[in-house]
């Protein structure tokens, strides 16, 4: 029986990457007097590295070898902290929006008594800020568990964050569905024994999503239908609680 929905955040709940995190990284670099600039294409390549601080460290290793080895970790941590501050201000200013169908499905699932949880590699501050600004007042309390970067140092595709969330929910993998947007996220969910639904975005649409229950364009709204790209079919024009129960049931027979 389906009891819980576990959501990734960046790229899944909201289009945070291209016009959110990327912009915040570039502002942090400028503040530090660095001439680094991650354009849309370059940032898409860097997204293969999970975790913001890890992404900076990878970039330094490959793109800024002149920085002494002993200074790299401290610089990555400093830049990431400044980047987070910029990102939080962007959320306050309304620059980051939920993807189609997200607010609707979360509300429907909460009203239907399904448990909601988060499993992400981003920081808890980023998650809380997004949910508080993009959802109705009090909706943060809908989430029974928030598993974030502080809880799981091993980033996706490692299953650590999902394993931690499942333990805190005290539910089995068969009672949950995961929602992801990337191959790394999907591999993380599958490695934790979860069934997963993928909502693609511009950065991830060409990745390998073998093993997902269904790969869809987004969750859909009454005025904007969701499209199934592969996997289990969509009975209506959008993903709702009834559809999730149907997908879950068909996958556990």
Find tokens 């001439």 and name the residue: 35
CB 133 within 8 A of CB 94: yes
* Beta strand spans in 42-189 (E): 115-119, 143-147, 176-180
Of the candidates 172, 170, 118, 178, the one whose C-alpha atom is nearest the C-alpha of residue 149 is 118
Question: CA–CA separation, 144 vs 75, rounded Å?
Answer: 35
pTM of the entire structure? 0.91
Q: Domains plus CATH for the chain? A: 4-15+97-251 (3.40.50.1000), 17-92 (1.10.150.240)
**What's the confidence (pLDDT) of residue 48?**
87
3-class DSSP state of 233: coil
CA distance to 102, 114, 125, 242, 246, per residue, from 9 (Å): 11, 18, 12, 23, 24
What is the 8-class DSSP label of residue 234? P
* Residues catalogued as catalytic: 8, 10
**What's the confidence (pLDDT) of residue 63?**
87
Of the candidates 158, 160, 157, 121, the one whose C-alpha atom is nearest the C-alpha of residue 12 is 121
Question: CA–CA separation, 229 vs 136, rounded Å?
Answer: 31
**What's the confidence (pLDDT) of residue 252?**
76
**What's the confidence (pLDDT) of residue 165?**
98
**What's the confidence (pLDDT) of residue 51?**
87
3-class DSSP state of 190: helix
Radius of gyration of the chain (CA): 18
Token digits of residue 206: 């060409």
Find tokens 């199934």 and name the residue: 228
Contacts of 248 (CB under 8 A, 6+ apart): 2, 177, 195
CB 186 within 8 A of CB 180: yes
Token digits of residue 182: 């990337």
**What's the confidence (pLDDT) of residue 253?**
64
**Neighbouring-strand partners of residue 230:** 215
What's the length of the chain?
A: 253
* pLDDT tens for each residue of the chain, 253 residues long: 999 999 999 999 999 999 999 999 999 999 999 999 999 999 999 998 988 999 999 999 988 989 999 999 999 999 999 999 999 999 999 899 999 999 999 999 999 999 999 999 999 999 999 999 999 999 999 999 999 999 999 999 999 999 999 999 999 999 999 999 999 999 999 999 999 999 999 899 999 999 999 999 999 999 999 999 999 999 999 999 999 999 999 987 6
What is the 8-class DSSP label of residue 98? B
């Amino acid at each position: 029986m389906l009891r819980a929905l576990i959501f990734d955040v960046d790229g899944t709940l909201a289009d945070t990457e291209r016009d959110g995190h990327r912009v915040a990284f570039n502002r942090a670099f400028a503040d530090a007097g660095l001439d680094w600039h991650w354009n849309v294409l370059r940032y898409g390549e860097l997204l293969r590295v999970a975790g913001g601080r890890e992404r900076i460290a990878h970039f330094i290793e490959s793109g800024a070898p002149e920085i002494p080895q002993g200074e790299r970790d401290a610089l990555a941590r400093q830049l990431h902290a400044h980047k987070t501050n910029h990102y939080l201000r962007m959320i306050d200013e309304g620059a980051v929006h939920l993807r189609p169908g997200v607010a609707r499905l979360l509300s429907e699932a909460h009203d239907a008594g399904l448990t909601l949880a988060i499993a992400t590699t981003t920081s808890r501050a980023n998650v809380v800020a997004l949910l508080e600004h993009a959802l109705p007042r009090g909706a943060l309390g809908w989430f029974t568990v928030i598993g974030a970067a502080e809880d799981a140092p091993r980033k996706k595709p490692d299953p650590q964050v999902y394993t931690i969330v499942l333990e805190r929910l005290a539910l089995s993998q068969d009672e949950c569905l995961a929602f992801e947007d990337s191959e790394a996220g999907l591999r993380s969910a599958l490695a934790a024994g979860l069934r997963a639904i993928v909502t693609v975005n511009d950065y991830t649409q060409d990745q390998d999503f073998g093993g997902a229950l269904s790969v869809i364009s987004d969750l859909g709204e009454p005025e904007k239908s969701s499209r199934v790209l592969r996997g289990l079919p969509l009975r209506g024009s959008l993903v709702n609680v009834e559809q999730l129960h149907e997908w879950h049931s068909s996958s556990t027979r």
